[in-house]
Structure 1
């Protein structure tokens, strides 16, 4: 009897310890149930720096603070012309507030400038144009927009082209593909009216990119492709839609149009639930997989390659060079390639795009590589954009 009574006391003691520890955990959770979430989602109104990724790795930008120890791309003072001639950068952009330059309770300070939501969107668009005109001065920029959207944008080398469609936030990615198709149809009609007229090569991009190298070289460097896409080592989303190039020939434009029409068809039939974002990337990947036997291994390499897709010659370019994303996303563990041509400030990195341009303009050396060190060292936290 004594033995049984002793075991009962022991079991009661164990149960009491378990109950008290569980109770303490619950009390701690109720005391601050979102503490871990707050830590992860906290936003800052300034850049937060860390060591530059890729230290010691070959063919990667090496930095000491914001000073580049080796040089990436080309200097912003070299005034690129090779490849810049005959390239049109085309983006889709609209505003959702008619009050531009007005006051707003949701303001953001970047340097000495305060922006409301619309103003900072316009600042990003202007910075997008600034990088293009600095790095590829012989190119032009075309803004496809909602006819109801009055863009306060008057700049040399920039054309605002209204395209009818549905530009709500939930349908913007879908409308972007439609607008690209409408633009290519316009170019085909121009060819019919004026046979033999020279058409620029076309690069469709997001408006939150910075061109930091000569991307026009792809049209002479990689053979007679019709369409170019950028790929990354990501099994779920191997292709990014933020950079799509189309060769400016009648055949190239026609095949580019047919390719995007196929993407739009797949988008509507399979990915409408992702129409706010990612739907276009999933649709592009679906079309590519439909006509090729490409697998994850093909997208894991860094070398460009060609594939025939529904009659179009499609060039696949590595995101690491033509669509590189700052730390907090792709590339953060391996640093920045020295031959990077496009930096994509996707998501919460918009502040970093404006800060980078301000840094470049204020730098006495006007050194693009130093600016890229600023980009490489930042981005390890969420910003307020």
Structure 2
């Protein structure tokens, strides 16, 4: 039998020590990771009150300048004589009325139980009002409507919802529109596209009785604040049937929280067909992201798959039009039409003076309610936007 060499015997003697050393290193690494995660949790703490920070964009031209919550420069639309009103009809459509309607999808889950059996630890207080989870969603929806009725008082709001959803909302200029479908949390983004398509189908049938009147549609999330008149989209770009918002993001250049469709028969048909292409791509390619982002990934896939489409145009904050399938699509920069602090285009350069839509994504829901309360007390949109700008990077308890 072969006797192990001295070197091998030394190795065998040290082998247990190597295992012990590896175990010590592993435990140490685990401890460091735990400390790091705890630190991240502390950093991600959500606040139950507004926290003002520095206003991004200080000193940059064409950006909102603030001193505290006082605007040193006013946003452009306040000086416009058309602010708060829909623009007049096209010259060749004298006698025909044009309007804009906002369309959003909203539903509730187990609303009856939660409204009647609210737990104290489920309540969130904003100002002097406390909300349950369901009441928070309804409060956001009401503030969404409030901003529209202040900025564009002649516009209507249409809420697409699950027929089984139980919530009460009685307001002038607001229509509840039930559409059958799967509104479960995991399928809500997929259902949203389906509901948009079903809604446009009903509009096509109604156009026969419209007597020449035209209603343009803007499909948005309900956590947006419209702070300027958006009628000009349909007047400044009369050859576009659909409008989308873009940002300089390689994987998700398009945000589905804002989709405009021209209210003519041709516009609705082409907009519906574009959404059907998005739905098909969603179902065949992006179902793994069905709970979140699947619609945006599908929308980007449909657009970028067009021959000769130049994705470099997404890196510039300038509106442009492109033929996508059968539709002439207007691409609008998120920095103006879908501005979100601190995500998306312009996040490190402040708020453009011509911002028209503020999107309170994710943890910014409290900020949306606080902003509306602030506007009620100040009646100054520019000052309110300073509040948003200085508070937008903080995570709140919504």
Note the 1:1-385 alignment, pairs <5 A.
25-26=28-29, 29=32, 32=35, 34-75=37-78, 80-83=84-87, 86-99=99-112, 101-102=115-116, 103-104=118-119, 105-192=121-208, 194=209, 196-327=211-342, 330-363=345-378, 366-385=379-398
CA displacement 1:67-100 (0-9 Å, x = unmatched)? 0000014349976214396000000000112236
The 8 Å contact of residues 241 and 271 in structure 2, kept in 1 or not, is answered as yes
Instruction: Find the aligned partners of 2:214 and 2:237 in 1 and give their Cα distance.
Output: 19
Instruction: Find the aligned partners of 2:330 and 2:344 in 1 and give their Cα distance.
Output: 24
Instruction: Find the aligned partners of 1:114 and 1:368 in 2 and give their Cα distance.
Output: 25
Distance 1:308 1:296, change over 3 A: closer
TM-score (normalised: structure 2): 0.87
Distance 1:76 1:45, change over 3 A: farther
Instruction: Find the aligned partners of 2:57 and 2:351 in 1 and give their Cα distance.
Output: 7
Compute the displacement of 1:273 (Å).
0.8
Distance 1:63 1:254, change over 3 A: same
Compute the displacement of 1:282 (Å).
0.5
Distance 1:261 1:28, change over 3 A: closer
CA displacement 1:254-294 (0-9 Å, x = unmatched)? 00111101110111000111111100001111111122433
Compute the displacement of 1:25 (Å).
4.8
Compute the displacement of 1:101 (Å).
4.2
Aligned to 1:361, the other structure's residue is in SS state: helix
Instruction: Find the aligned partners of 2:43 and 2:279 in 1 and give their Cα distance.
Output: 36
TM-score (normalised: structure 1): 0.89
Instruction: Find the aligned partners of 2:292 and 2:196 in 1 and give their Cα distance.
Output: 17
Unaligned runs of 5+ in 1: 1-14
Instruction: Find the aligned partners of 1:139 and 1:332 in 2 and give their Cα distance.
Output: 30
The 8 Å contact of residues 142 and 161 in structure 1, kept in 2 or not, is answered as yes
The 8 Å contact of residues 328 and 381 in structure 1, kept in 2 or not, is answered as no
Aligned to 1:71, the other structure's residue is in SS state: coil
Instruction: Find the aligned partners of 1:289 and 1:136 in 2 and give their Cα distance.
Output: 33
The 8 Å contact of residues 197 and 276 in structure 2, kept in 1 or not, is answered as yes
Unaligned runs of 5+ in 2: 1-17, 89-97
CA displacement 1:200-231 (0-9 Å, x = unmatched)? 00000000000000111110012320000000
Distance 1:347 1:83, change over 3 A: farther
Distance 1:223 1:34, change over 3 A: same
Instruction: Find the aligned partners of 1:248 and 1:30 in 2 and give their Cα distance.
Output: 55
CA root-mean-square deviation: 2.4
The 8 Å contact of residues 86 and 99 in structure 2, kept in 1 or not, is answered as no
In terms of mean alpha carbon deviation, does 232-241 or 74-83 score higher?
A: 74-83
Distance 1:97 1:51, change over 3 A: same
Aligned to 1:200, the other structure's residue is in SS state: strand
The 8 Å contact of residues 73 and 369 in structure 1, kept in 2 or not, is answered as no
Instruction: Find the aligned partners of 1:109 and 1:286 in 2 and give their Cα distance.
Output: 41
Compute the displacement of 1:48 (Å).
1.5
Structure 1: which 4+ aligned runs deviate by more than 6 Å?
none
